[in-house]
Amino acid sequence: MSTSSGLSARGVVPLSRAKIDRALARLVGIFGLGFALLSLPVLSDSIGTLKPDWAIGILIALFGSLVVACVCSFLGRGVRASMAVVACLFVLALALWPFAVRSPEAALGTQPWLWYVVIVSVGAAAISFTPSWAGVYTVLVPIVYTVLRILPAGGGASVPLALLDATYTLLLGSFLVIVIASLRQAASRVDQAQATAVARYADAAKRAATEQERTRVDTVIHDRVLSSLLAAARSTTEEERRIAVQMAERALVALQSADAETEASPDLPRTVLVERCRALAEALPADVGFEATGSFEGTLPARVLEGVYAAAVQAIVNSIQHAGVTDALGHPVARHISLLGDADEGFTLVVSDTGSGFAPDAVPADRLGMRISIRERVNSIGGSVQVRSVPEAGTSVIIEWHAGRQHEVFA
């Protein structure tokens, strides 16, 4: 529990822990309801020893809470609260059982019907409570049941027989709590490893992009700014000064884009972008779909390919960190990278998810991931970025690049 909470506090989505919690809740919900239904014949045999109003009340309370918990486990909402209600109602039913029997004499020699669903209540406690409180519950229930079992209203069993039943309940309940806690702890460790891997991957991508940009800015300073200064220093005629001014203007444009063209870099096949995006989708810890359609014939400037790919990395990392685990309907968040190519015009790259979404206009100015790592990087290579997002309705980052624009930017 603590590991998962720590991950969430840092903004990293606990993917594996969420899946394990959903699976365990559904198992407890299904088998709990099944065990309760199997105990109906026992309840029917002992109905004569109970007061009608109490029998109906206990039946409605326990079975109703089990049905609600089972439904909540499949909807993925209100699971812990509904399971906690099941666990608490069971303890309450144990405590009030002496008031439910018609008379102590009528209950002598019988076993309380609640015995057959005691493990269901322990499973519900293991889902809803922390491991420590679930352990307390696992010990408390056998103690309460032992006291009830010895009383005439609980059947007046002998102390050894009551202790035997309590020991059985304690052992089975402890095993169930330990298994659930161990699975959750293992899932939290997987999430910790995934979070570390995502952070390292994002850090490596950012450092690589920073190094590339530093090299390119150095190239601008050396090849354009320095040349402009030398031309200005050596100009003696009006024509030479006009040329120096033009060179300075081009150098300023290149510096503003923060990403100058490196003429020495060879063009790369457009299929390289497809393969790198496919490899990105397969390498990430979250499930990310990939699709490439259209034509990817021809080549791209190396810096265009690097800029678009780096922007895609930032967009998918943002999705993993901020989109959440489930969508508004409780389904797992779907993430997708799609490429649409046009050999003559360019291509469109879309990074989308069905997660929590956000209001783009409300993003603080100091959040640089979207503004610097995506928008300005793509703009500097002649591309454009659209961000379409609505709270609770997912996000799409649309990156477009057209071959005609590169000449306007790099001229």
pLDDT for 293 equals 92
Higher-scoring residue by pLDDT: 118, 7: 118
Higher-scoring residue by pLDDT: 223, 267: 267
Euclidean distance between the first and the last CA atom of the chain, given in angstroms as a whole number: 57
φ and ψ at 284, to 5 degrees? -75, 150
pLDDT at 389 over 70: yes
pLDDT for 289 equals 92
Region 381-407 average pLDDT? 84
Mean pLDDT of the chain: 79
pLDDT for 43 equals 72
pLDDT at 299 over 80: yes
In the chain, where are the structural domains located?
2-195, 264-411
pLDDT for 411 equals 44
116-175: per-residue pLDDT in tens?
888 889 999 999 999 999 999 999 999 998 998 898 888 888 899 989 988 988 998 899
pLDDT for 253 equals 52
Higher-scoring residue by pLDDT: 38, 265: 38
Higher-scoring residue by pLDDT: 348, 192: 348
Choice among 92-96, 122-126, 242-246, 336-340 with the minimum mean pLDDT: 242-246
pLDDT at 262 over 50: no
pLDDT for 141 equals 92
Percent of the chain scoring above 70 in pLDDT: 77
pLDDT for 39 equals 77
pLDDT for 261 equals 44
pLDDT at 254 over 60: no
| Confidence class for position 281, pLDDT limits 50, 70, 90 | confident
pLDDT for 87 equals 92
| Confidence class for position 233, pLDDT limits 50, 70, 90 | low
Higher-scoring residue by pLDDT: 204, 335: 335
Region 49-54 average pLDDT? 81
For the ranges 21-35, 77-91, 321-335, the one whose mean pLDDT is highest? 77-91
For the ranges 101-105, 263-267, 386-390, the one whose mean pLDDT is highest? 386-390
Percent of the chain scoring above 90 in pLDDT: 19
Region 190-216 average pLDDT? 74
Of the candidates 342, 345, 331, the residue with the CA atom closest to the CA atom of residue 392: 331
Q: Which fold has domain 264-411?
A: Heat Shock Protein 90 (3.30.565)
Output the CA–CA distances (angstroms, integers) from residue 103 to 49, 156, 158, 253, 263, in the order listed: 8, 12, 19, 94, 97
Higher-scoring residue by pLDDT: 216, 54: 54
Tokens 């390292």 sit at which residue? 200
